Amino acid sequence: MLREIVLDTETTGTEHANGDRVIEIGCVELLNHIPTGKSYHVYINPQRAVSAGALAVHGLSDEFLADKPVFAAIVDEFMEFVGDGRLVIHNAAFDIGFLNAEFARTGHKPFVLADVVDTLSMARRKHPGAANNLDALCSRYGIDNSKRTKHGALLDAEILAEVYIELIGGKQVGFDLSMQPAGRQSRGLQTEAAASREARPRTMISRLTDAEKAAHEAFIQSLGGTPLWRDYIGENPSD
């Protein structure tokens, strides 16, 4: 059983080496590439001011974060949720750098970047020369990101889970009739019921106009007898 944790963070700025801190963590659990419905989400008091640039991106103000727990207060529950799961992160070096800086303060073992699946690197290999930020990938794969007016760690993790599934092959990867996801089904994944529907024979629906049908009828009349072509008109959707 492959367990993965799709993760995203928001921060006070872009430079953990200069003291910027994590202010939000969002995680989504996948089993065999299928969302289970389990997630982890927390806001964190960074004990320092949020930069103007970061505030414009995620909208998390100093006032909003003032009464939230500090990282040291949530780190154990966060690590319990991650457990032995493989991390999946977009631009992993950024988030791992920030989380490891927080772990250095609390004395926890750092994450190993080489063990993390970086979806940005995957996207760059699959779509070289194209835009591969999260919004661009949503557009490319037809994933709804209309709620993403601001960056948010949990929403971005949920969206990234869908992007990741597309990057590794879409609905065919992780197709497993034994799985029963507890939460919302990610775009493109098949449930047992969906697979059953796909297995049923379906009548082909004609997309021909009346004029095209008339032209076809005139053609097969010219052939004489009972040509098989007559069977390929299909049913009218209104029938």
Tens-place pLDDT, residues 49-98: 999 999 999 999 999 999 999 999 999 999 999 999 999 999 999 999 99
Would you say the pTM of this structure is higher than 0.75? no
Which distant-in-sequence residues (6+ apart) come within 8 Å of 70 by Cβ? 44, 45, 47
pLDDT, the chain, mean: 82
Residue from 58, 90, 151, 216 carrying the catalytic annotation: 151
227 pLDDT tier (thresholds 50, 70, 90)? low
To the nearest whole percent, how much of the chain has pLDDT over 70? 72
- In angstroms, the Cα distances linking 230 to 135, 211, 216, 223 are 48, 16, 8, 11
H/E element, 92: helix 92-106
- 42 by Cβ neighbours in 10 Å (0-12 / 13-18 / 19+) ranks as buried
Higher model confidence: residue 114 or residue 210? 114
What are the tokens at 191? 């449930």
To the nearest whole percent, how much of the chain has pLDDT over 90? 67
- Catalytic annotation present for 151: yes
**Coil, helix or strand for 96?**
helix
Q: Write down the architecture of domain 3-198 according to CATH.
A: 2-Layer Sandwich (3.30)
Pairing of strands 22-31, 34-43: antiparallel
* pLDDT tens, position by position, 112-146: 999 999 999 999 999 999 999 999 999 999 998 78
